[in-house]
Every structure is written in structure tokens, then in C-alpha cells.
A and B are shown apart, each in its own frame.
Chain A
């Protein structure tokens, strides 16, 4: 589903990723771990086309990115649900509208999207917060709204950047259970986290990144 072949990404004064090669199968749930600045976010950005690799090739869902024209980028992104590290919720929109945005972008009308938005909010246990503005929610709740927005369009790939970064251990477990449920429905999930507690005893593959190098993989 996701393939990296000798991928490198350089910025002006440092190398974020160096010759990364890995492959993730359809329906897998995989973790990337490593300290801050190890290249986890850059790796995810390369998958949702927010960055371009300087070397190597990336292929997602059978599409090789180096051959993708700009006009196709939004269409490819619609196949990927992203939970951003900073949530990227729109402050001037209520929770319902924030989640619905993913579907509006895909051209769904009000009648069709309503049920799907409420379903997504139910999965993250925040249906009762549909009419609230994001700023009135706690960090954990905002994170779950971001997850609801990422899953509402039922993409085949979900990327999550530090999805438990702002929440207590109990909420973290709840979020992880949500991801497991979504994964059980067939979605391929890639979660970047520096929280090693989270991946312990998951039985999933874990990629270890450090200073832009992929040190190897292990089973969590």
C-alpha cells in the first residue's frame, strides 16, 4: 500500500530523512517511533504530498508520486485521512462543520453527509459535542475530533502524527482502541509517536527512526 525506496529529504541546513526504504501492506497498522526531530512528521508529509522527496521514489496505493501532476494531488489526498499533530481544526467552525469539511470537499450534500458525520463523532465518543466550537474542547477532545475528520470519508489510508500527544494515558488508550477499530474495518494505518508505552504489546510492526535514518523495525 505504501512503499518508500531509498527516499531522502534535505532541508537547507539538515537532512530530515536519509535513504529510507520500507513497505507497508494493505490493512496493516504500523508505528513509526523516534525522538523529536527524528523525521517522523517529514515521513508522513511525504505520504500525503505536503513535501516532495529529493531522492528516491514513493508509491502509495499503486500511484508513483514522481509521475503525479499537480492537478491530481487533491484527488490523491482524498484517499488519505490525516490526523495532524496540531489538529488543524478550524476555530470559526463548529465541531460538526469541521468533521463535515472532509465530505464537503468531496462534494457530498448536506443530507448525505449528516449521518456520516454523526457516525464518525460516535466512534470517537463526541457526538454530544457536535455543536461546540473547537476552542471550548479539551486537548484530548480536539484530538478525537481531528480523528473523526480523518476517518469520516472512509479513506483507505490513515496517517496520525502524535495522535496521543496531548492527552492523558486513559484517553490515549481510548484513541488507540479507535484506531484498532478503524484498522479492523480494513484501513491501512500509520501512526507516528514518540510514546513507546503506546506501542508496547500491540503486536504491530514498529519502524525506528533516528536523525533521519531508519534504524530498523521490530514488533511492538
Chain B
């Protein structure tokens, strides 16, 4: 503890740097988490429209519906008769309902609305399912927002990867800060350490104060980072959500940030351990 106070400035700078790193990393993790949550709701809204041929018998239609239901990726299948579809079209386009009324016959087809299970949701699964359904006799056309789906998917994967990369870079950076701090102190105490060795100190005895120093720096950084993230949430995001409704949609899992002191402690211990290296007699 005496050593930590003696070297207070270098330790303080390290604590602030690591705390800022942890704060920034948490913000990134929360952003990725929120984007993930938002895109995770897509399967509920997404549906695949399967248009059936006009001349199908009731029996054949039921067979097709059952076939689709049996697919592992499918959550539900709803039959939409063409008359119902036309009524819906009319109610959607009320202003031009007279145009639709003027049609001699219903130009729409009977269709099936297919919803997917969230765990099976993805552009590849949808594409595979579409190809499989196309082979079923009686199905005329399949429609889904292919490009939209793959763009959303790419965006989700991209953000996740960038987030992961950022976390790795920040972790290495924070460990390096702690490493440098302990290394500097280690060099400064070089003569002291040599004396310890000559007096018969074990490696553990020599390492302990530096490991404690790294742990204290890391833990303090974690606590400071936690304070920062709570401050950011309660003072800024909550206040902003009154003015800007978009901020209300932000999900903040507080239990996630409670791990910050532990993460800080691990970073501190890792940095210190690497800085001390192998002690030779």
C-alpha cells in the first residue's frame, strides 16, 4: 500500500486510462447488445409469402400447408384466401378502392403466410426454405425481402465483429497500460528486488506487492468505470429519453456493468503478471 501511495501519480494516470477504456468498451458492448436486441425482433415481423396456384383442390392445399409446417425452421403457417387478401388490399388502399371494385375478377392468388422460428432465422435458412418450397407442386411463387434480409443480417454480423474486435483491442490496450505501470515500478525497484533475492526471498514474496499493485489499479479502474457508466445512464440517457423518445428504447442491463470491477481486477492482475515476468536467481 505504501508503494501505491508513493507512486500515486503514475498509478492515478493508469487508473484513469483503464477506467476510460472500460467505460468506452462497455458503451460499445451495450451498443452491440442493443443492436442485437433490435435485429433479434425481426423474425417476429418477418414473413414469407407463398402464392398458390388457382386450380388447387382443398385437399392439395391442406397437404402443402402440412408439408411446410413440418419443416424444422417454420414456426407457423397461415392460409390467406384470395378474397380475404383482396379485402385487405381494399382497406389498405381506400382511396383507390373503386379501381379494385372495377375489376371483373379477383387478380390475387390464395396464399400462405409462413413465419420462421427465431433460432432458425437468417438469410441462408430463408433461401434454402424458399428453394425447397419452390419444388412443391402447386406453389406458384414465393416472395420475401431477400435483399433487406441479407443487408440486415450483414449489418448485424458486421457490428458484432467490429464490437468483438474493439473489445479485443481495448483489452490488450488496457492490459498494456497496467503492464507498463507495473514494469516501470519494477524497474525502479530493481535494486530493492535484487536485495530481496540475496536475502533469500522467494519468487512469491517478490511478486506479491506488484500483483497487489496491479490488482488495486485494475479494481479501482473497474469501480471508476462502473461509476462512469452508471452516471452516463442515470444522468444522461434517462434525461435524454424524456426529450428524445428514441433513447427510451435503449436497454441497459445493469448486471452486465456490475462485472466491470472484476474485469478491471483481471486486467490488472494479467498486466502485473506479464510485467514481472520470470524471476531469475
Distance to closest chain A CB from B257 (angstroms) = 39
B205 touches A88 (CB 8 A): no
- The CA-CA distance from A73 to B203 in the complex, in Å, is 11
B200 touches A74 (CB 8 A): yes
**With contact pairs A73-B281, A74-B281 given, residues A92 and B198 touching in the complex (Cβ less than 8 Å):** no
Most chain A CB atoms below 10 A, which of B191, B194, B203, B281: B281
Residues of A within 8 A of B200 (CB): 74-78, 102, 105-106
Residues of B within 8 A of A101 (CB): 195-196, 199
Q: 1/0 per residue A75-95: CB within 8 Å of B?
A: 111100010100010101000
Query: Quick check: is A112 within 8 A (CB to CB) of the other chain?
Result: no
- Inter-chain contact count A-B, CB under 8 Å? 44
A105 touches B205 (CB 8 A): yes
Of residues 195 through 216 on chain B, the ones whose CB sits less than 8 Å from some CB of chain A are 195-203, 205
- The CA-CA distance from A105 to B192 in the complex, in Å, is 13
Residues of A within 8 A of B198 (CB): 48, 50, 77, 82, 84, 88
Distance to closest chain A CB from B199 (angstroms) = 5
- The tally of residues in B whose CB lies under 8 Å from a CB in A reads 16
- The CA-CA distance from A106 to B202 in the complex, in Å, is 9
B205 touches A92 (CB 8 A): no
- The CA-CA distance from A49 to B281 in the complex, in Å, is 8
Considering the complex, give the chain B residue whose CB is closest to the CB of A103: B199
Considering the complex, give the chain A residue whose CB is closest to the CB of B2: A92
Distance to closest chain B CB from A18 (angstroms) = 25
A105 touches B281 (CB 8 A): no
Chain B contact residues, majority secondary structure:
helix
Which of B6, B191, B194, B199 sits near A105, CB closer than 8 Å?
B199
Query: Quick check: is A218 within 8 A (CB to CB) of the other chain?
Result: no
Q: 1/0 per residue B180-199: CB within 8 Å of A?
A: 00000000000110111111
Query: Quick check: is B255 within 8 A (CB to CB) of the other chain?
Result: no
Query: Quick check: is B280 within 8 A (CB to CB) of the other chain?
Result: yes
B199 touches A92 (CB 8 A): no
A74 touches B201 (CB 8 A): yes
B196 touches A92 (CB 8 A): no
A77 touches B199 (CB 8 A): yes
Residues of B within 8 A of A84 (CB): 198
Residues of A within 8 A of B191 (CB): 88
Q: 1/0 per residue A46-90: CB within 8 Å of B?
A: 001110000000000000000000100111111000101000101
Distance to closest chain A CB from B37 (angstroms) = 53
Residues of B within 8 A of A49 (CB): 281
Distance to closest chain A CB from B201 (angstroms) = 5
B197 touches A74 (CB 8 A): yes
Distance to closest chain B CB from A22 (angstroms) = 23
Considering the complex, give the chain B residue whose CB is closest to the CB of A105: B201
B280 touches A70 (CB 8 A): yes
Residues of A within 8 A of B205 (CB): 105
- The CA-CA distance from A73 to B194 in the complex, in Å, is 13
Considering the complex, give the chain B residue whose CB is closest to the CB of A73: B281
**With contact pairs A70-B281, A74-B281 given, residues A92 and B201 touching in the complex (Cβ less than 8 Å):** no
Residues of A within 8 A of B194 (CB): 88
- The CA-CA distance from A218 to B195 in the complex, in Å, is 33
- The CA-CA distance from A73 to B281 in the complex, in Å, is 7
- The CA-CA distance from A211 to B6 in the complex, in Å, is 45
Residues of B within 8 A of A77 (CB): 197-200
Residues of B within 8 A of A92 (CB): 6, 192
Residues of A within 8 A of B201 (CB): 74, 105
Which of A74, A82, A90 sits near B192, CB closer than 8 Å?
A90
Distance to closest chain B CB from A84 (angstroms) = 8
Of residues 27 through 52 on chain A, the ones whose CB sits less than 8 Å from some CB of chain B are 48-50
Residues of A within 8 A of B6 (CB): 92
Considering the complex, give the chain B residue whose CB is closest to the CB of A155: B200
Distance to closest chain A CB from B191 (angstroms) = 8
Considering the complex, give the chain B residue whose CB is closest to the CB of A79: B200
Q: Which residues of chain A have a CB within 8 Å of any CB of chain B?
A: 48-50, 70, 73-78, 82, 84, 88, 90, 92, 101-102, 105-106, 149
19 pairs of residues in contact across A and B, judged by CB atoms under 8 Å: A49-B281, A50-B198, A70-B281, A73-B281, A74-B203, A75-B200, A76-B200, A77-B199, A77-B200, A78-B199, A82-B198, A82-B199, A90-B192, A92-B192, A101-B196, A101-B199, A102-B199, A105-B200, A106-B200
Known: A90-B195, A105-B205. 13 other contacts (CB 8 A): A50-B198, A70-B280, A70-B281, A74-B201, A74-B203, A74-B281, A77-B198, A78-B199, A84-B198, A90-B192, A101-B195, A105-B196, A149-B199
The 3 closest A-B pairs by CB, nearest first: A78-B200, A77-B200, A73-B281
